[in-house]
Amino acid sequence: MLDFSGREAVVTGGTGALGSAVVGRLVRAGATVHVPVYAPKELERFPYREHASVRLHEGLDLSVERDVERLFGGTSSLYASIHIAGGFAMGPIESTGLEVWDQLMRMNATSCFLSCREAVKAMAPREGRIVNVAARPALVPTAQMSAYAASKAAVAALTLSLAEELAASSIWVNAIVPSIINTAANRNAMPDADHGAWPTPDEIAETIAFLASPQNAVTRGALVPVYGRS
């Protein structure tokens, strides 16, 4: 059984569909969870906004260095840091503007880098767990996703490099690699797809929670597929 009693966690992207599932799983396991909030409207559907074990940090942009420093500076004994925040866009390369490339790099790669860096500072010299979120197109060639795939490939490479760098400090770094997640937004976007083949946020949250937990005694440097049957 996973046990986060007396431990702090950060969950970026914690107000989204997958993030909310992760926050809920950690809270049920006894964690105090810090959740950054970019815009107030994110909280409208966030079920844990008034939970006693959830600490909200509002007005933060995770691609801005000082904002990420503020988030992690608000922790006192960080054990787990889970980096779900990011963005998505697709389209043929000839119509992909530089602004799309820059935005995806900021939302996915830069936010993950800054969060990892500040998490390590907050954890050291104690042990800890970091879980990033890559994406299937970063590993499996997918048409019309060049910019998105590149930004998520950066997350995967960062994960592998940090896992080696931090091994001696007992800070395990891993990443999950989702395919399409069974969320309301994705179902609406693809109404004719086989939604039952997609993994649900709650199912993926179980994998994330284990990788982020003290019960994960040995797994590091893994890019863990969470594809379900898709």
Among 82, 61, 170, residue whose Cα is nearest residue 124: 170
Phi, psi for residue 158 in degrees, rounded to 5: -60, -45
**Cα 11 from Cα 55, distance rounded (Å):** 10
Closest residue by Cα to residue 26 from 45, 46, 48: 48
Please give the distance of CA 61 from its chain centroid, rounded to a whole number: 15
Distances (CA, A) of 204 to 20, 23, 201: 11, 12, 5
Q: Which of 38, 48, 148, 227 is catalytic?
A: 148
Q: Are 55 and 74 in contact (CB under 8 A)?
A: yes
79 tagged catalytic:
no
What are the residue numbers of the active site?
Answer: 148
